[in-house]
Amino acid sequence: MVRAPLRSTASNALKIVVVGGFGVGKTTLVRAVSEIRPLSTEEIMTHAGVGIDDAGGVETKTTTTVAFDFGRITLNEEMVLYLFGAPGQERFWFLWDRLFSGTLGVVVLVDTRRVADSWYAIDRLEHHGMSFIVAVNDFGGPRHSVEQVRNALSLSADVPIIQCDARERESSKKVLITLVNHLYALSTAQETVS
């Protein structure tokens, strides 16, 4: 594979995470805006063998891997933005701090046919104190209004929701801009207070 290297002046890389259930379009969204074909890699999770039969004092450990995809956008001479597609499944959250501490913010990608898939992710993001927006991927089914989705997710009024088509570059770009605008508003509000 021919790699597309970063500029030699690149010095500050940032992270945005797109989280959602299986098949919701995370990689599609990343691909729509990324300057490289999305890549994938894995991280190891080791669990101590809690609740497993005592094997004669030998500590049992199970090792699993969690896979995730990513792409990137060069923002300027120094800054590059990495976009990660993260599965919303439960075991992934054990790795959140290790992989995604320092993330600017998060896009929760929702399929309106499976809204309940997002409840757990939103709960965990709130637990981790992450700022996020909700993007509703349009699968061509009956359209749900933003307010219907907000109610279904019990989201507070200050979390932005946006409809999108993750296959479209302009639409996916708008999702990212909506997130960063939201973060910017939060950040300037905080700076004014302090």
Partner 1 sequence: MSPRPLDGEDPDRLYTITGGRSRADESRLDLVTLIVSECDPTPGMQSEHVKILRMSRRPTAVVEISSELRLPVSIVKILLCDLLDTGRVTARHPSSASTPSRLPDSAVLKQVLVGLEKL
Residue numbers of the site for partner 1 (CB under 8 A)? 3, 5-8, 10-15, 27, 33, 38-44, 63, 65, 67, 69-70, 72-76, 79-82, 84, 98-105, 129, 131, 169, 173, 176-177, 180-181, 183-184, 186-188, 190-191
The rounded distance, in Å, linking the Cα atoms of 136 and 113 is 10
Q: Residue 2 corresponds to which amino acid?
A: V
Q: Residue 144 corresponds to which amino acid?
A: H
Alpha helices for 34-168 (secondary structure H): 96-100, 119-127, 146-152
Cα Rg for the chain, rounded, in angstroms?
A: 18
Closest CB to partner 1 among residues 40, 89: 40
Smallest distance from partner 1 to CB 81, Å: 6
Smallest distance from partner 1 to CB 29, Å: 13
Closest CB to partner 1 among residues 21, 149: 21
Smallest distance from partner 1 to CB 148, Å: 28
Match 């981790």 to its residue by tokens.
128
The rounded distance, in Å, linking the Cα atoms of 187 and 193 is 10
Smallest distance from partner 1 to CB 151, Å: 27
Smallest distance from partner 1 to CB 116, Å: 26
Closest CB to partner 1 among residues 10, 146: 10
Closest CB to partner 1 among residues 37, 143: 37
Specify the length of the chain in residues: 194
CB atoms within 10 A of CB 178: 18
- From residue 78, alpha-carbon distances to 9, 124, 185 in Å are 6, 32, 23
Closest CB to partner 1 among residues 14, 146: 14
